[in-house]
Chain A
Amino acid sequence: GQNIDQPTEMTATEGAIVQINCTYQTSGFNGLFWYQQHAGEAPTFLSYNVLDGLEEKGRFSSFLSRSKGYSYLLLKELQMKDSASYLCAVRDRDYKLSFGAGTTVTVRA
């Protein structure tokens, strides 16, 4: 199984940078995903890491260290619309995802 930990809440100012950490313990790692979920809506895919290193997609970047069981999602140039929950999910070799409880990010003006 998987044990996935991420902070419950984070608050940041518009235009700032926020880093959301995720640690995991896994049996059979096959990739790590980050999803964004606005209140009352479905999760939507943000990023995917399977090899160590940084993946950059516009204002969002995700980092993975498999040896440390660690990932982070970096949100740059924060906008009000970035206020949402961010879900860290680890995939196993059967392609099943295990999710962390999510980090609620509040962006303040």
Chain B
Amino acid sequence: TAGITQAPTSQILAAGRSMTLRCTQDMRHNAMYWYRQDLGLGLRLIHYSNTAGTTGKGEVPDGYSVSRANTDDFPLTLASAVPSQTSVYFCASSELAGAYNEQFFGPGTRLTVL
């Protein structure tokens, strides 16, 4: 089982360009999440989706947009990248029913905006 995949693994992007980070899970989880991880700040939630067709804003949503057309895919789009969006981006998924509902993380995308 693949779990969660993310693409690309890494990317260098010119400021002002747009980019979509891809995330796909095969666990049929209801909820999906996008985080960014910066040194000294830990993981911060950008956007989330509790079920297909719905999305919500996290702690740091500005400059990012998401969509959830189906259960498996949750792409993150940067419409016009800025250097402060240089970060490692992690996608995660979880169930919303049951005991733990721990989040499972993808391998991450390392993005550099110049």
Give residues in A with beta carbon < 8 Å to B.
Answer: 1, 33, 41-45, 48, 87, 89, 91, 94-102
Contact = CB atoms under 8 A, between A and B. Distances in A.
Question: Which 3 pairs of residues, A with B, have the shortest CB-CB distance?
Answer: A42-B105, A101-B42, A45-B102
Given A43-B43, A87-B42, A87-B43, A95 B94 contact: yes
Given A45-B100, A100-B42, 16 more contacts: A41-B107, A42-B105, A42-B107, A42-B108, A43-B43, A43-B90, A45-B103, A48-B99, A48-B100, A48-B102, A95-B96, A96-B33, A96-B58, A97-B103, A101-B42, A102-B42
A95 B106 CA distance: 18
B70 to A, nearest CB: 20
A97 B31 contact: no
A33 B100 CA distance: 9
Contacts of B100: 45, 48
Contacts of A95: 31, 50, 94, 96, 101
Contact of A97 (B45, B56, B99): B45
Contact of A42 (B33, B42, B90): B90
B59 interface: yes
B41 interface: yes
